[in-house]
Chains A and B, each alone.
Chain A
């Protein structure tokens, strides 16, 4: 369906990435946000708390991030689209309930405007060190989806995509911004509401007696209902059967957990998104995301003037990772170069998928700033030799 006009601030704006993300959420139909202040993410909820009262939305500043994530997970079951917003330290506190959302198959969006870490790290300065935590941070085995925008415009556009993916696959979606994208101000075009496609919450039309909350009948995800509509359903973070009842058995674990993993793994090619440029025939392919993708573009131009055939693959959906595409490229390129503002996270995925066919060369940055394009350029030139 098309977006509810109440949440869409159509026009051409000059916005920072945090505000643009907030606008994206409101355009996507988000009407409940619970959060706890943390730099550099707070502007997202500040924006929302200013505009929500005019569109039937509720924002609550909770007592901590444990509460924020729990409130969002509960709120989703009312049919309302929900989001929470944080940065590294708060992201760590949210992990247990992100696992609950994955286990209960609760679609929601968790925004992490990444700053330098670990611990309190660099509160006001950029980092990309939570990329693996986004994927693996909660205990146990599960799959989810994560995206990484490279600009305020994408912070708007991809927040809508994040809400839509959450609905389709019934997973928590991690929206992995970074401080630079969050705080950079650029032109953001917000289209009219009738040009914005949103995936609404689709409810089961089964009668209460016929409905089982986790019955899939061969589909990847179960049908949804809302709390308060007479279904008297039960859901739990314990391993559960189709009725949502706890079953402590090897078989039920296999059926239920393997399904929530496979709904993403087996459909990964429908979920992955990346931008590609001059990859075929390139000697070196650079893989980057978020703000680092912007810096990389300059590095690539520099390397090309030195005569290197460079391709670029920009990750937009970072999890699930575009395994098949990296595998393909690995057999035609000499090397991958992976700049990121951490000491090696997504490069491990590139390396895993390249499986020894091409080296994956990390260009690390500890955080607090972005790479010097010359350093990335040098890595490209070296890799091409």
Chain B
């Protein structure tokens, strides 16, 4: 239904309650893709009706790493690459919490790659939302482990000759139980995907392809951020359940989106509790869901 011309805009943006409005304006560039991912995340939180007091968000460092700082949740802006182990500490210290890691491609799979693969292997109960803009945005457009071969970055000025990660395949082969890829223009599908993932347990990984309008786009002369968003959206083919080996992304090539893995497997905590219950019986004392806080 279209809005009659003279209706005043609603005072508050619908996702404002999910944001720290006292921190606006945010630092992101116009037409950067990160913002719409935040919008989808907030909408998904609203739709799931989770108790937001029990949802916490952890980011590393980078443009995407600033997301934690804008969400109206318990929020931790940590060190470069260490969001996943920091989040692991929170999850194990207070198992009842839903812990979300929101960070960039460089942060989570470059400097933080070791933590990524091990958290997936352990099926640590974390939802990891990774914004892949194919570059190190915050530091000025340097090469990332995700930069497509031949794409230019500020440290590969003659084009990247390395082979990038295929992130859904990396996550799936390390043991992630939920693996998806969308672009930041798949608003409805991405929102639904995040909502679904919030209802699952285990290491859940969502890669979101998004433009870095200021650096990646400019260095590669790919037009405005909006041009690039549209390019990604229009050149992505949805293939749910696709073989993750086939999800490599070539430079300005078409690529596959969808939900690839959605399995149920016991999480680290499930395994730990079941194991100790089996071998120790009544002697096993579980950490209470609300954590190991010892008080009077």
Which A residues are within 8 Å of any B CB, using their own CB? 1, 4, 6, 29, 31-32, 34, 53-58, 60, 62-64, 66-68, 70-82, 96-97, 100, 198, 200-201, 203, 226-238, 243, 245-246
Contact = CB atoms under 8 A, between A and B. Distances in A.
A73 B276 CA distance: 26
Contacts of B68: 234
A75 B287 contact: no
B82 A70 contact: yes
Contacts of A55: 285
B89 A226 contact: no
B164 interface: no
Contacts of B85: 34, 62-63, 66-68, 70-71, 74
Nearest to A30: B292
A31 B280 contact: no
B294 A200 contact: yes
Given A77-B76, A79-B292, 10 more contacts: A70-B78, A74-B87, A74-B93, A77-B74, A100-B78, A100-B79, A228-B291, A234-B76, A235-B75, A236-B77
Nearest to A198: B294
A229 B280 contact: no
A58 B115 contact: no
Contacts of A60: 88, 92, 268
Given A29-B294, A31-B287, A80 B93 contact: yes
Interface-centre pick from A34, A57, A67 (highest chain B CB count, 10 A):
A67
Contact of B69 (A71, A82, A100, A236): A236
Given A6-B285, A97-B79, A201-B293, A77 B69 contact: no
B54 interface: yes
Nearest to A62: B85
B179 to A, nearest CB: 20
A74 B90 contact: yes
A189 to B, nearest CB: 23
A122 to B, nearest CB: 27
A177 B296 CA distance: 31
B89 A227 contact: no
Interface string B41-75: 00000000000111010100000000011001111
A82 B280 CA distance: 24
Given A32-B89, A60-B88, A54 B58 contact: no
A63 B114 contact: yes
A265 B58 CA distance: 32
A75 B97 contact: no
Contacts of B92: 32, 58, 60, 71, 75
B12 interface: no
List 9 A-B pairs, minimum CB-CB distance, nearest first: A74-B89, A31-B292, A79-B293, A78-B93, A75-B89, A71-B89, A236-B77, A67-B85, A80-B292
Given A200-B296, A226-B291, A66 B82 contact: yes
B242 interface: no
Nearest to A229: B53
A32 B53 contact: no
B272 interface: yes
B265 interface: no
Contacts of B272: 58
A232 B283 contact: no
Nearest to B280: A53
Given A6-B285, A29-B294, A100-B78, A78 B90 contact: yes
Contacts of A6: 285
Given A56-B286, A60-B92, A74-B85, A31 B78 contact: no
B77 A32 contact: no
Interface in B231-287: 268, 272, 276, 280, 283-287
Contact of A71 (B88, B276, B280, B292): B88
Nearest to A246: B69
Given A53-B280, A245-B69, A228 B285 contact: no
B23 interface: yes
Contacts of B291: 78-80, 226, 228
Contacts of B93: 32, 58, 74-80, 82
A59 to B, nearest CB: 9
